[in-house]
Amino acid sequence: MLDSLDALLETAGLTGRGSLLPLSGGDIAAVYRLTTDQGDVVVKSDVPARLAGEAEGLQALARANSGLIVPEVLGQQGAWLVMEALEAAPAHQRRAAALGEGLRKLHGNTGEAHGWPRDNACGSTPQPNKPLPDGRVFQRERRLLPLARACYERGLLDKRLKVAVESIAESLETWLEDVPASLVHGDLWSGNVLYTPRGPAIIDPAVYRHYPEVDIAMLTLFGSPGDAFFDAYWNGSPPAGWGPREALFQLYPLLNHLLLFGGGYRQAVVGAIEKLQAGP
């Protein structure tokens, strides 16, 4: 297997020096740092289709010219992805504001259809992205219903909760407006934000085009990016109706966490459902 990595490095004009050093945070894929004759790189090993989707996503984010740092893809083939290594720097308010400004610019890249030309993955969960013209339909047919069904089939959701998710999905047109589809990172929890000396970076994407709240709700799912972020992204105040929109766009990643990591996320799913059942 390492022979194929050596071949990929050679194609990228690199020669490895020393051993692969494991990095933390690789819950789904194995991630390493490797010293080469051109400096350090990050090497990821995973299912080829997932790596191809990640490489394409990184390249799409880089083309968006948002001002956010995106690691350069140096090569991808088979079970290997080789990327630029980024150095970490402490987070502070100025960098949080730069994240908000960059994400606002990223989301300004819009298209007519919700989705993406190819399917990819969120973690190890296949993520269907076949485009649809209406964001409400996309959220229902490509996000909520497939995840609710998968969790139910594995015994992670009972029938009552499955029906509750289905009811929420079917009611979206009654309160959620359709909007142009923004380019989104797709899996923007805090662990996929890296502050560097050059500015905030975003890594490990699951890109597609959809409501921009996809990324904001993911950033607030396990904490908060802070006031400086929101001052830059929203000019200080959340839009009207943010509460139910946040709950809606957290429901999909919570269902995904339930599917990937088990019943410890069931109560969080219930909480999001109850917020949405209370009405917009």
Please identify every residue annotated as catalytic: 187
Backbone angles phi, psi at 10, to 5 degrees: -60, -40
CB 148 within 8 A of CB 255: yes
Closest CA to 206 of 196, 192, 222: 192
Q: In terms of DSSP bridges, do strands 80-84 and 16-22 run parallel, antiparallel, or are they unpaired?
A: unpaired
**Residues ≥6 apart with Cβ < 8 Å to 50:** 28, 29, 120, 121, 124
Cα separation, 133 vs 114, whole angstroms? 6
Cα separation, 280 vs 278, whole angstroms? 7
Cα separation, 10 vs 248, whole angstroms? 46
Q: 3-class DSSP state for residue 235?
A: coil
Q: Which two tokens stand for residue 148?
A: 């609710």
- What DSSP character marks residue 109? -
Closest CA to 198 of 108, 84, 107: 84
